[in-house]
Amino acid sequence: QVQLVESGGGFVQPGGSLRLSCAASGSISSINTMGWHRQAPGKERELIAAITRGGSTNAADSLKGRFTISRDNAKNTVYLQMNSLKPEDTAVYYCNAEVSTANGIMDYWGKGTLVTVSS
């Protein structure tokens, strides 16, 4: 079994920054792509960014320049640096990972961390 645990969420004022972390643990052979998604109240979950094991990234155009994804393969951890936060960034942020296990390639999700941007 594989677990993903997000951390770093919280309350921040507009214009502020937060850094989210997501650590994977468990029966992991290797982790392929890791990503961050978010779901705002009343909206569908959307992709923020994804990063391959080799460091190639794919990000939502609307968030480029403010949000940056990175990862530490040795720690099985993916990060999301969020700058210049806006009230519309308020959402639950989820990480996911495509993991190679003894049973094949599986997709796992964390339970999410809430980010609230408000004055």
Write the pLDDT tens digit of every residue in 81-93.
999 999 999 999 9
Find out whether 30 and 63 touch, Cβ atoms under 8 Å: no
63-86 pLDDT per residue, tens: 888 999 999 999 999 999 999 999
Label residues 16-44 b or e (16+ Cβ within 10 Å = b). eebebbbbbeeeeeebebbbbbbeeeeee
- Count of CA atoms in the C-beta half-sphere (13 A) of 28: 20
Tens of pLDDT, residue by residue over 29-74, are 889 999 999 999 999 999 999 999 999 999 999 888 899 999 999 9
Match 């079994």 to its residue by tokens: 1
